[in-house]
């Protein structure tokens, strides 16, 4: 994938009528070598220049972990789990360690994972006390594949709250107290936002005590701004959910997503990262005329839930022109969605992967070549992504940003690439 190394120089697209940048590359392999591809994201939100190095570094590590699993013979589900664990363990992401604290000062995480081959899905919501929520989601998925429980009971695929924590521990996933998952960064943000809430409540209480004719006499009675990550003057700063999509050597796809949720959220709130069809989607092609697709989302959970954006983008990827299809999906199914008609700032982002067998491999039972198309799009100020094939020596990373003049929540950026994973003779 040497041709992809200049992807950070590609122009971003903000108009739904324009074409974006596509990058082409061919990766060959010798028989017996691993084959596969991974695309990860460290969130659609705002990524400051001061922390750009850290965000890119964690994306590189996540790609490397996934590729290590692919090279060891692992399938897509194993690889995507490995990538998510790395993303959750980073103190710079809002997932697992370093997650935003809720109103009670606790960490509650959401995560989900989907296997394109079996179409099985596992998810957890408002989960506390577990270091890597994706491991619980993955275990739930695995348990559903074993069939019914005693007395014919149907095994759960989605658990929340205390019940999810108890289930995880009973299935061998170790507990981890909130204080060990809390970072100085997340704690300082919580304390600052709590002070802002208290001030806002004081202002509101005082406002109610004043008559309308005197209300404007009080210069201090100004609205208190939105919650922001320390040092970030941006409404979309806290939306850094993480995720990954993978295709393995057999053409199977998998997707996963994990999030600590919005800062100062109400305890028990469950975001898009846990909802079916909203946080992630993966589906192997069921017919030779179709493509396998995998999607992972990030952004404002309520916006993504109401539009089921992950599944909408997956469906759109069956069109001939992937770039145009994703652009139209983001514009028509998200920004201009009738389900978000009352919103003037629609915040979200997606990473999308689609693949199919190509060339003579279509006539063979053994997959020898895969055509992988990968894209990312966002309406937030920025989105950090990384990607790598099993033949690459290192991952490529990129922080995509809206160009100057673009309005977050109303404009979108879109980029992508094409990679052919094929065989080569000795």
Q: Is residue 60 part of a domain?
A: yes
Q: What is the pLDDT of residue 284?
A: 97
Tell me, what CATH number does 20's domain have? Answer: 3.60.20.30
* Residue whose structure tokens are 């014919």: 152
Backbone dihedral angles phi then psi of residue 51, each to the nearest 5 degrees: -110, 10
How confident is the model over 43-77, as pLDDT tens digits? 999 888 888 999 999 999 999 999 999 999 999 99
Q: What is the pLDDT of residue 185?
A: 87
Q: Is residue 193 part of a domain?
A: no
Q: How far is CA 108 from CA 135, 163, 164, 257, 281, in A?
A: 15, 13, 11, 15, 22
Q: Is residue 334 part of a domain?
A: yes
**Domain total for the chain?**
1
Structure tokens at 216: 């404007």
Q: What is the pLDDT of residue 159?
A: 98
Backbone dihedral angles phi then psi of residue 355, each to the nearest 5 degrees: -150, 160
How confident is the model over 260-314, as pLDDT tens digits? 999 999 999 999 999 999 999 999 999 888 999 999 999 999 999 999 999 999 9
Q: Give me the residues of the chain with pLDDT under 70, please.
A: 1-33, 210-239, 358-368, 423-426
376: helix, coil or strand?
strand
Q: Is residue 222 part of a domain?
A: no
Contact yes or no for 236/347 (Cβ under 8 A): yes
Q: What is the pLDDT of residue 299?
A: 94
Q: Is residue 153 part of a domain?
A: no
Q: Is residue 301 part of a domain?
A: yes
In terms of residue numbers, what domain contains 46? 2-102+112-121+239-424
Whether residue 241 lies in the annotated active site: yes
Q: Is residue 297 part of a domain?
A: yes
Q: What is the pLDDT of residue 423?
A: 54
Q: What is the pLDDT of residue 203?
A: 83
Q: What is the pLDDT of residue 50?
A: 86
Q: What is the pLDDT of residue 369?
A: 81
Q: Provide the Cα torsion 312, 313, 319, 325; round to 10°.
A: 110
Structure tokens at 425: 């003779």
Of 29, 142, 133, 149, give the one whose Cα is nearest residue 75.
142
- Give the active site residue among 93, 97, 241, 357: 241
Q: Is residue 175 part of a domain?
A: no
């Amino acid at each position: 994938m040497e041709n992809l190394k200049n992807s950070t120089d590609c122009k971003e697209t903000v108009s739904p009528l324009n074409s974006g940048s596509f990058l082409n590359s061919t990766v060959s392999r010798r028989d017996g070598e691993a084959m596969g591809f991974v695309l990860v994201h460290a969130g659609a939100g705002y990524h400051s220049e001061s922390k750009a190095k850290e965000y890119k570094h964690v994306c590189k590590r996540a790609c490397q972990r996934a590729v290590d699993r692919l090279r060891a013979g692992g399938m897509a589900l194993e690889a995507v789990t490995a990538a998510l664990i790395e993303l959750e363990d980073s103190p710079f992401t809002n997932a697992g360690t370093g997650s935003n604290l809720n109103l009670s000062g606790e960490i509650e995480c959401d995560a989900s994972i989907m296997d394109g081959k079996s179409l099985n899905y596992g998810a957890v919501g408002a989960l506390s006390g577990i270091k890597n929520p994706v491991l619980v989601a993955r275990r739930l998925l695995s348990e559903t594949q074993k069939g019914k429980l005693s007395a014919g009971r149907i095994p759960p695929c989605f658990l929340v709250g205390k019940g999810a924590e108890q289930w995880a521990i009973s299935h061998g996933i170790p507990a981890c107290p909130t204080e060990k998952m809390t970072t100085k960064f997340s704690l300082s943000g919580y304390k600052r936002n709590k002070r802002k809430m208290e001030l806002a409540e004081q202002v509101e209480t005082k406002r109610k005590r004043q008559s309308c004719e005197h209300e404007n006499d009080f210069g201090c009675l100004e609205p208190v701004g939105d919650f922001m990550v320390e040092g970030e003057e941006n409404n979309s700063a806290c939306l850094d959910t993480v995720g990954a999509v993978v295709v393995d050597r057999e053409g199977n796809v998998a997707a996963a997503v994990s999030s600590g949720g919005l800062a100062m959220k109400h305890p028990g709130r469950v975001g898009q990262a846990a909802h079916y069809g909203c946080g992630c989607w993966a589906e192997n092609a069921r017919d030779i005329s179709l493509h396998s697709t995998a999607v992972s989302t990030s952004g404002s959970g309520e916006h993504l839930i109401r539009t089921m954006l992950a599944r909408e983008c997956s469906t759109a990827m069956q069109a001939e022109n992937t770039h145009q299809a994703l652009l139209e999906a983001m514009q028509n199914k998200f920004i201009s969605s009738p389900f978000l008609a009352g919103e003037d700032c629609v915040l979200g982002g997606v990473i999308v992967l689609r693949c199919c067998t190509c060339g003579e491999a279509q006539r063979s039972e053994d997959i020898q070549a895969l055509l992988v198309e990968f894209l990312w799009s966002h309406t937030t100020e920025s989105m950090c992504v990384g990607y790598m094939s099993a033949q690459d020596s290192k991952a490529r990373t990129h922080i995509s940003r809206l160009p100057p003049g673009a309005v977050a929540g109303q404009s979108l950026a879109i980029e992508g690439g094409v990679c052919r994973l094929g065989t080569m003779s000795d």
